[in-house]
Amino acid sequence: MSVDKTWVFLFSELDKVEALPTIKDWEDVRSFLGGKGANLFEMTRLDLPVPPGFTVTTEACNAYLAHNHEFPPGMWDQEVAAMKAVEKAVGKKFGDPANPLFVSCRSGAKFSMPGMMDTVLNIGLNDETAEGMIKLTGDARFVYDSYRRLVQMFGSVVMGVADEPFEEVIAEFKKKKGIRHDVELDAEDWKGIVERFKALVKAYKGQEFPQDPYKQLEMATRAVFNSWFGKRAIDYRNATNISHDLGTAVNIVTMVFGNMGDTSATGVAFTRNPVNGDAELYGDFLINAQGEDVVAGIRNTMPIAQMKELMPAAFDEFMTIVTKLENHFRDMQDVEFTIERNKLWMLQTRNGKRTARAAIKIAVDMANSGLINKKEAIGRVTPDQVDMLLHPQFSAATKAQARKEGRLLVSKAVNASPGAAVGMAVFDADTAAEWGKAGKAVIMVRPETKPDDVHGMIAAKGILTSRGGATSHAAVVARQFGTPAVCGAEELMINADGHTFSVHLDDKVVEVTEGDWISIDGGTGEVFLGQIATQEPDFDHEVELKTLLSWADEVRTLGVWANADYPKDAIRARRYGAQGIGLCRTEHMFFEEERLPIVQEMIMATSRARRQVALDRLLPVQRGDFEGIFRAMDGLPVIIRLLDPPLHEFLPSYNDLVADLADLKLRLQHFHTLSEIDGALATVRQKEDILNRVKALSESNPMLGLRGDRLSIVMPEITEMQVRAILEAAIHVKKEGVDVHPEIMVPLAGHVNELKWVKDIVDRVAQEVFTENGGSVDFKYGSMIEIPRAALTADELATVAEFYSFGTNDLTQTTFGMSRDDAESKFLIEYIEQGVLPVNPFQTLDRGGVGKLVKMSVDLGRQTRPGMHMGICGEHGGDPNSIEFCHMVGLNYVSCSPYRVPIARLAAAQAAIKHA
């Protein structure tokens, strides 16, 4: 490593930084100097009142961490030289009792990580400089207050002494004097506290608090570098998807003091309201305080507006500066400032953190005012922020209040479907449906959910499971219906039969029984006991969001469709801006309570004739469903997938049937009347028939067995009924004046002959329906691509299929050779945590494997059928990263849950802008 390399730059040397060959744009500057440093340099160039200082680059941090925590060659010498330059700029000397210079040492990564890394203030104070400062200022209280802050922060941050012993000393002094607030302590008190603090450091660490200012600076610099890999910093980066290899800069800034009496102050402010986005100054300040007092909540702060009355001159200057900063950086700014004896100093500016609502309003307002353009506004809002805005939510304040009031946090698991839900715990789908219909708010609690739980899931306000992950059945269905869900809460011992769950908390067992209130946050994976207040969004009243999405629609090339199985879902999808239905799953209709017995009758039939009787009863029900969806999507395409899951999913489980039979036979011994015995025997025979049918339908691997188009070929009468229902519904609504565009999709095709076989059925039934009804409708016939062979032979399939829809959930399973639920419960989370896989491939499309198959299918399909229409209908259709990939490979649309349609609209626009 070259000794000549420059590791340290003065705030006045931005031109020198920008001249480096590795620096191409402002993002490179931010990577090199960190966000805080870059903005201090820029404010200095703007001639704003910034205390002189210098920055040790992120490259130095990474070199330090990579080389056994040793400063890179030349770095420390450059830091000392930079300190000499600062001394010259301010006319003070670091460590000189006669005219001492003090500095702060602050972290600063490329992306803001508030409070996640370390800061030390008042470096340079020691016994000698403290005495010198008292002579200069005549204010012993201020000096010893500052000195004790240094010893406390340095002891905690740099030397690893816990905070509590320091706070206990202060509390002891206040108690002795009978006072409540720190500001009531006088100079002698703080002087005594300083000595006690130094003794604490010696007692806990076995070494003295360093009196050499340069030793303080060196140790503080190391502490900031080390804090890059502190636990809270790592956790924060994991949560916000910030790379771990960026490193942090170290910013050394001349100290200015807000705790020098009533002419001094410190504060934090936002140039706009970060909660709702209103164009108003928002923040807090304190007179006679240092910055940590404001952010740590040590003292009750004052609203920034009061500064206008108490310090009018400083306030006017401050307003001029923050307006300039917002216009310069063209975004809402979060600033820190200090007033030292009526002189204003700017210590930091950065793009402010904001709520989802504020982010959208600020972006739209700034675009409307001309400060940014529409494309920039689209890029200012993340898809996650749109997601947050459209789901009921708990605020941080209400959750904190709930904890205070004893509503315990009992689990933090997989945040499977965003939003907040409050309801009474129920433990089976029937009760959930019954209570839901009665107007009760319920949360369905299950070890895991199955397809036949869907009626309860629809009725529930939220879903909580102890097994399964982010793409388990519970999660997928929950997202489809916009229902908040927390999955994989392993701490909960769920006894579904006993209608309870229990959890161990602090050496005691807490039990929740049916009817007890619980609250779940599907955005964070948290589960609380009791009720927490929620906030309900209303899309129709989200004016700024609708404006932003209309701008997104102007630039995106990717269509956004929705997965919808019921008319009400289709209506919601259209209201959210869907341009079609990309997946209507007919099996979900079969699981409804009044239909399931007919479906089971059809499955139990041992002959085609008996099966047809049940299918004839299902026909009008299916037809009615399709009519409702076609009406809701008047003028837009609707893709209906033929029956996909294996038939056994519509029957009770084998284990449940065996248990029921054993229980019935046991109870037979206690029946006395002939009618009781006959009734019980009839039930036994019925259960045995079902058990035998379940045995007959059982498969070693049902997800790769008799399902999808294989079912259409083996039991064509099921497909005949469904095709008839689709086309009869289309003709009926067409006669009403509805502009109908049905598309029939075959699941699980792997060979062109399967598609041909099913197409023969579809064409024959279509001709029958058109003849019987004296009219016809145009429709398309297409295939899902969800197994590798379909992708490899997409050119052959395209000779029959008119469109493709990628079922990426199953395509991911069959490409990886892993069961989604088993993987997530057994090893997938560990894979991601240990870096074996970068992300969960069931949440974000695996571009390197599954993505190659998708790209291959697109190219092969369009070789055979130029311009072939293609989309994606798996869970990935609502994931922004996957949407970007769909744009890149030239798909025509993505299809997702109705609740994710606004998210997909924004993500598709961002992909178009990025890859323009």
- Catalytic residue IDs: 473, 873
Contact 895, 562 (CB under 8 A): yes
Rounded CA-CA distance 37/237 in Å is: 19
Tokens describing residue 14: 């931005």
Q: Secondary structure of the chain: what % helix, strand, coil (to 5)? A: 50, 15, 30
CA quadruple 874, 875, 881, 887: dihedral, nearest 10: 30
Side-chain half-sphere CA neighbours of 299 within 13 A: 23
The maximal CA–CA distance of the chain, rounded, in angstroms, is 110
> Tokens 């997800």 identify what position?
703
* SS3 state of residue 581: strand
Round to whole Å and give the CA distance between 343 and 265: 10
Three-state SS sequence of 292-318: HHHHCCCCCCEEHHHHHHHCHHHHHHH
Length of the chain: 916
Query: What residues are paired with 869 via a beta bridge?
Result: 803
At 872, phi and psi to the nearest 5? -125, 135
Dist CA 444 CA 421 (whole Å): 11
Contacts of 552 (CB under 8 A, 6+ apart): 378, 905, 906, 908, 909, 910
Integer CA distances (angstroms), 135 to 87, 98, 190, 413, 767, in order = 20, 9, 17, 58, 102
Return d(Cα 910, Cα 892) in angstroms, integer: 16
User: Which DSSP category does 778 fall into?
Assistant: -
Handedness of CA 148, 154, 160, 162 (dihedral sign): positive
Are the C-beta atoms of 157 and 223 separated by less than 8 Å? yes
Nearest to 581 by CA among 591, 594, 571: 571
Report yes or no: 380 and 359 within 8 Å, Cβ to Cβ: yes
H/E stretch holding 720? helix 716-735
Distance separating alpha carbons of residues 173 and 171, to the nearest angstrom: 6
- Backbone phi, psi, residue 643, to 5°: -50, 130
The phi-psi region of residue 178 (left if phi > 0; otherwise alpha if psi is between -120 and 50; otherwise beta) is left
